[in-house]
């Protein structure tokens, strides 16, 4: 495993297992498979609705808590100082842990300043070992890095060969914020798994296009979170530390960049309206006021 050191001195694995869109029925088994494979960074979120299953897997794994780097994220409906603090304690309860290694704000909308202040205080109190943001474009990241008390340690953003985030990475480097890739495969959009450039590079090393994508991001200093519900794929994704891409390989992949999201733009007002509607619908479907609170 390769590690990076965050701007507060905390070490973080560069390869983790993400549970986005992993169903509650499959989640515990998948996390146990990932841990058995060797993953020690597990990434979930309040909005994935599988924190409890992640917690069950961690408890049953027998792996000491100190050996696992556990990340979750505050969902938008819990933004604001007091609501964020409450939601963090609910996440702790679901995950069966007394602390979090990393807590992120999931989206750059609503009262993210109040939410971030809550994370700052929980970090100061030792409840969270590192704090950060997710989906914050350079303008929002620079905003919070300059006006918050604590500079974020991590920014988790869409990062894959078709959307390489080169400009965003410049700003993250300036403020010493670690970039972390959600969907490092771009969910296969644009034919990434069959791409001629990636498959040709892979053949040189007896690796798949997926493994090439992971290695490419790792060599750029990007933390990656591949997701699969199949153990054999988990093992393949984990097997990326025994080869290195050449500078020529890296340049060929760099030329694939479209500088465009494969999913949506947070700058698009239509998308913001859609997002607000989706948040409200989720709030009604998953009424957090009815959740058990033992904190």
Q: Which residues are catalytic?
A: 48
The reported pLDDT for the residue numbered 264 is: 85
3-state secondary structure of 24: helix
pLDDT tens track for 179-220: 999 999 999 999 999 999 999 999 999 999 999 999 999 999
pLDDT in tens, 32-88: 999 999 999 999 999 999 999 999 999 999 999 999 999 999 999 999 999 999 999
C-alpha closest to that of 275 among 261, 260, 263, 287:
263
As beta bridge partners, residue 224 has 15, 181
Alpha-carbon separation of residue 276 from 127, 192, 263, 273, 288 (angstroms) = 29, 30, 17, 5, 17
Sequence-separated (6 or more) residues with CB below 8 Å from residue 124: none
Q: β-strand 178-182 against 41-43: which pairing, if any? A: unpaired
**d(C-alpha 269, C-alpha 69), whole Å:** 35
What mean pLDDT is predicted for residues 230-240?
A: 97
The pTM assigned to this predicted structure is 0.93
Cα→Cα distances 34→222, 233, 241, 285, Å: 20, 10, 16, 30
């Amino acid at each position: 495993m390769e590690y990076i050191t965050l701007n507060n001195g905390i070490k973080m694995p560069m390869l983790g297992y993400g549970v986005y869109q992993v169903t509650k029925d499959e989640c515990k088994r998948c996390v146990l498979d990932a841990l058995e494979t060797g993953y020690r960074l597990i990434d979930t979120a309040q909005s994935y609705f599988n924190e409890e299953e992640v917690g069950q897997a961690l408890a049953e794994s027998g792996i000491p808590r100190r050996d696992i780097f556990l990340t979750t994220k505050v969902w938008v409906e819990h933004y604001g100082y007091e609501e964020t603090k409450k939601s963090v304690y609910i996440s702790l309860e679901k995950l069966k842990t007394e602390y979090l290694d990393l807590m992120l704000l999931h989206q750059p909308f609503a009262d993210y300043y109040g939410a971030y202040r809550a994370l700052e205080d929980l970090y100061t109190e030792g409840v969270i070992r590192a704090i950060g943001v997710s989906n914050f474009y350079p303008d929002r990241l620079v905003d919070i890095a300059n006006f918050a008390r604590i500079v974020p340690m991590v920014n988790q953003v869409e990062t894959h060969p078709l959307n390489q985030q080169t400009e965003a990475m410049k700003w993250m480097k300036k403020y010493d914020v670690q970039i972390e890739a959600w969907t490092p495969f771009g969910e296969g959009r644009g034919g990434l798994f069959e791409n001629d450039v990636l498959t040709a590079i892979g053949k040189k090393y007896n690796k798949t296009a997926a493994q090439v994508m992971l290695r490419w991001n790792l060599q750029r200093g990007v933390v990656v979170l591949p997701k699969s519900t199949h153990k054999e794929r988990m093992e393949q994704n984990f097997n990326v530390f025994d080869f290195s891409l050449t500078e020529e390989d890296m340049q060929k992949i760099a030329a694939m960049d479209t500088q465009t999201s494969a999913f949506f733009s947070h700058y698009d007002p239509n998308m913001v309206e859609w997002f607000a509607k989706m948040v409200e619908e989720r709030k009604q479907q998953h009424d957090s006021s009815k959740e058990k609170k033992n904190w």
